[in-house]
Amino acid sequence: MFKQNKISITAIVLLLSSFVISSSALSAPDIDLIELKHKPPAPDFVLPDMQNKAHSLSEYLGKPVIVTFWATWCPPCIKELPSFNRAWAKLKDEGIVVLGININEDIETIESFKLQYPIDFTILLDEASEQIENWNMTGLPTTFIVDAEGRVVYQAMGEREWDNDSIINKVRALKRKNKQIKTTKRPS
């Protein structure tokens, strides 16, 4: 009972935060990302996808990963989905991963939503909303960009145009940086 109340309260807080983020972003979406200078390690997770296959963040080490947290009831989440699809179309053949972690909703809700709003990238389910605390989120959408070494390099709160060249190039630079690190390491 306590866990269910905690999830309900968390969902309400996220809903209210999303409306605040949405109302403050009524103009054009921001294209800036917040660079995290200390680059903390990204919290690992194991979450099922829409086919119930488990995915962990650690299985993507060696690749930059865009991790976005969203929900079907979140207006700015819905608004940025087409730009995520376009970004994914640009990045999918470059060894860069996009994961959309849905918060507090079941497969049926998301499948129904996808009939109206197609989603091309991998969707993971966090039905218990456990990742909210692990990733220290205060609203939806919140997106993190994780480098190939598993460190959070950028964060974005609120809607973005994810296929914007400025954002895409920052993500691509993380891939190039990883290649440089690999080629400069010398065998012992």
How far apart CA 3 and CA 93 sit, in angstroms, is: 41
Work out the angle between the directed axes of helices 75-91 and 2-24 (0-180°, nearest 10): 80
Question: In this predicted structure, what is the pLDDT of residue 129?
Answer: 96
Enumerate residue ranges in the chain where pLDDT < 50: 2, 15-27, 183-188
- R_g over Cα of the chain: 16
Question: In this predicted structure, what is the pLDDT of residue 88?
Answer: 98
Strand order from edge to edge, sheet including 97-103: 34-35, 152-157, 142-146, 65-70, 97-103, 122-126
Closest CA to 149 of 36, 66, 67, 61: 61
Question: In this predicted structure, what is the pLDDT of residue 9?
Answer: 52
List, for residues 116-138, the tens digit of each pLDDT value: 999 999 999 999 999 999 999 99
Question: In this predicted structure, what is the pLDDT of residue 148?
Answer: 97
How far apart CA 122 and CA 106 sit, in angstroms, is: 15
DSSP assignment of 117-140 equals: S---SEEEEETT-THHHHTT--SS
Find the farthest-apart pair of alpha carbons in the chain and give their distance in angstroms, rounded. 56
Instruction: Tell how strand 34-35 and strand 54-56 pair up.
Output: unpaired
CB of 70 within 8 A of CB of 77? yes
- Residue 49 corresponds to which amino acid? D
Give the chain's domains with CATH numbers.
2-184 (3.40.30.10)
- Dihedral of alpha carbons 57, 61, 63, 64, sign: positive
Give the SS3 label for residue 178. helix
Question: In this predicted structure, what is the pLDDT of residue 25?
Answer: 42
